[in-house]
Amino acid sequence: MKKLLVFVVLLAVGVGAAYHFGLLSRLGVRVRFIPKDPALLAYFGPDTRELLVVHSTELDMPLDKKTQEELDRQVKDVHAKTGVDTRKDLDSLAVTTGLAVARGRFDWARLSTYLQSEGYTLTELEGVPAAVKAQAADVALDGHYLLVGPQNLVSQALALKRQGGGLGDDSPLVKALDTIGWKHGMVGGLVSGSRLPDLMGKTGMLQSLLGAFDVTPEGLDLHGTALTGGEKQGQALLKLLELGRSVLLLTTGMETAEEQRLLADALRKSELKADAQGVVTGHIRFPHALVDATSASYARADFSGHFQKLNQAAADEEDSPTAVRPPAPRPSVSPPVASGVRAAPGPVDWKPPVLGLFLLVIVLVTMGAQSRPGMFNVLFHPLYLLPFAVATMGVVVFRWSGHAGGVFDVLVRPMPEWHRLVSHPLAQPVALSAAVPLVFAVLSGLMPWLRRFAAGLGVGFSAWLAVEAFSHPPLALIPPAYTQYWYAGNALMALLLARLALPPRAGRASEGRATGSRTRRS
């Protein structure tokens, strides 16, 4: 029964981790699980009147080959510069006037290094790491949430989250979006008080406007809902939309291009209707062929300049006499002790320790039944758990000890990243390899009490290197074409060293040897 319980727990953790890190989608298993994220909405004020939420995991847009190659190149370029893989690390993005909040996994060390190279100054806002720059959007990282916008708006958003005064379920905007649902690739809306409804509100026509966008096997589905002041206003808006559709059909009908023909066909099949309460709904489906043909006609924007261009209007507003000036940024943390030391680390990355649990299971499965120790007896043994935790997460106690800067900013990182303490070019490839587990594996042969320590270190290094193999960041002295092989090969070597170093279960092993000797004597 105990083995079955352990298997069920490990299976549940494995499936959850595979979904969280996007492994299920890579295996072709499509899972739609997009709950409303109160923590994401908490950064926006309760008086917010417009919001757009994008679930990037649900928007696998079909593009033509040339555009796809260009997009892949820019994604790799952004990843190399900032450490953020926009396809794997971004989960959701919420945008309103002047502020954007992204949920995902961000390496603040690499991101802050890139921001510094762009002229940003590292500081803190409301107790979280941030980067500020005049005439540009400022950036702050609050755990798994990256905030981008003017400094005063970012500080206000962080304060709202801390005080619990953000966008809640009782907000008119959230109530409106609840009616259309959150389980869409993109969902957004405008309610009374926003600029667009104000323009149309003078005639009493429009009170709210909601939309949802999804990528389906048949095409791209767009659903829209508009709430008007009553039946007459609803019918007026319906006639206005039908008139616009007729004009578009007349215009596209004169064109002979393939995308124009596909657009005209989609417009003819679109649906528009209004009910007695003045609610106007519409639906249009754009086939994938139309998106493929259209994407070839437009150049993709360069992602690397987004930080400079985003919220330029807000920066201009800061220059106005009536704008509230944000406080001067505080200086960044104390200078590093060596040239390899970077900015303070971000939140703990849980991928290596979770993967390390499965690697430990693999190691135990390869041992004989007579000599195999219990999983939890190994995992919770101090000589195993301590090096395993340090190798995958770093000395985490320093995160809450009040110590920061210099050496402490390095020790809170996983052990393979401690090469930042040394400025020698060989330090990085040696530290990001199985060299350290190999040394302790050799020492454990001379000092048997070190065997659990060497096993924990080997599994920890193997898990960390295996995670890095997916993104294979550049390594000193290693050609870029071989970095992934370097990480994967050393991860396998470290796991083999852990298997050799892990001591067997002494009682079962001696019992098995005694039984074998008695059998031979008889």
Q: Among 9-13, 136-140, 424-428, name the most confident range.
A: 136-140
pLDDT for the residue numbered 49: 85
pLDDT for the residue numbered 329: 42
Q: Among 93-102, 205-214, 467-476, name the most confident range.
A: 93-102
Residue 292 confidence (pLDDT) above 70? no
The 3-class SS string of 38-68 reads: HHHHCCCCCCCCEEEEEEHHHCCCCCCHHHH
What integer is the mean pLDDT of 57-77? 72
Which neighbouring-strand residues pair with 130?
Answer: 123, 140
Closest CA to 119 of 140, 133, 139: 133
Residue count (the chain):
522
Query: Which of the two residues, 3 and 493, has the higher pLDDT score?
Result: 493
Query: Which of the two residues, 59 and 483, has the higher pLDDT score?
Result: 483
For residue 190, the surrounding DSSP H or E stretch is: strand 186-191
Query: Which of the two residues, 255 and 36, has the higher pLDDT score?
Result: 36
pLDDT for the residue numbered 443: 93
Residue 495 confidence (pLDDT) above 90? yes
Question: At residue 520, what are phi and psi to the nearest 5 degrees?
Answer: -70, -35
Classify the C-alpha dihedral 93-94-99-103 as positive or negative: negative
pLDDT band at 359 (very low <50, low <70, confident <90, very high): very high
Spatial separation of the C-alpha atoms in residues 404 and 338, rounded to whole Å: 15
Which residues contact residue 380 at a Cβ distance below 8 angstroms, ignoring those fewer than 6 apart? none
Measured at the alpha carbon of residue 136, what is the angle toward residues 132 and 140, in degrees to the nearest 5?
40
Pairing of strands 186-191, 145-149: unpaired
Question: At residue 121, what are phi and psi to the nearest 5 degrees?
Answer: -110, 125
pLDDT band at 291 (very low <50, low <70, confident <90, very high): low
Residue 435 confidence (pLDDT) above 90? yes
Which residues contact residue 289 at a Cβ distance below 8 angstroms, ignoring those fewer than 6 apart? 258, 262
Convert the pLDDT of each residue in 324-338 to its tens digit. Answer: 344 444 333 333 333
Convert the pLDDT of each residue in 113-146 to its tens digit. Answer: 888 888 899 888 888 899 998 888 899 998 888 9
Q: Where are the alpha helices (DSSP H) in 129-257?
A: 151-163, 172-180, 195-201, 231-253
Listed range (110-124, 462-476, 504-518) with the worst mean pLDDT: 504-518
Closest CA to 452 of 366, 373, 365: 373
Residue 285 confidence (pLDDT) above 80? yes
User: How many Cβ atoms are within 10 Å of 37's Cβ, its own excluded?
Assistant: 17
pLDDT for the residue numbered 434: 92
pLDDT band at 147 (very low <50, low <70, confident <90, very high): very high
Question: What is the value of pTM for the model shown?
Answer: 0.53
